[in-house]
Amino acid sequence: MDRHRILFVCAGNICRSPLAEGIFKHLAGEAGRTAEFEVDSAGTGGWHQGERPDRRSIAVAANHGIDISDQRARRIEPADFGRFDLILAMDQDNLKNLRKAASADALGKLHLFNALALGSNQDIPDPYYGDRGDFETVYTMLLAGCSMLLPKAGKVPRGS
């Protein structure tokens, strides 16, 4: 089976994108579709490389039965643009940074998460400087988006 490869991207890969990765994997597992996907996350910056997700992201995910504590932050690499079918940025700034780094043939793989998942140009806000409630809000937004993305993920033309 040819797997669909999805990469979730935020700034530092410790708040939003690890949550998105964990939520999507969890939903795919519940739907019995784990084998269909290769899912990962990365950051446009390398400030937190090798670190676990933010403790608040880990806690919010755990409260919803999702364990993201084994994830480690990494910076997006040039090879990712060829490896992944979909690269989903959490906000417009990260999408702009991805577009600067991507080769011309990879530009069609880049999407704003909410634009592809929900048909909205709304950013997923960075909760890093917020409180636990901000992380819960982001979780809820990502859950809604991932719930809509899962049925579409196998149908989005690769590199479109």
Catalytic, out of 85, 91, 123, 126: 126
Q: Which of 10, 54, 74, 80 is catalytic?
A: 10
Asked if 91 is an active-site residue, the reply is no
Q: Do residues 52 and 69 touch, judged by C-beta distance below 8 A? A: yes
Catalytic residue among 15, 16, 40, 80: 16
Two structure tokens written together for 103: 């080769």
Q: Is 33 a catalytic residue?
A: no
In terms of phi and psi (left: phi > 0; alpha: psi -120 to 50; beta: otherwise), the region of 152 is alpha
Q: Check if the beta carbon of residue 88 is closer than 8 Å to that of residue 6.
A: yes
The reply to whether 15 belongs to the active site is no
**What region, left, alpha or beta, does residue 67 occupy, with left being phi > 0 and alpha being psi -120 to 50 degrees?**
beta
Instruction: Report the catalytic residues.
Output: 10, 16, 126
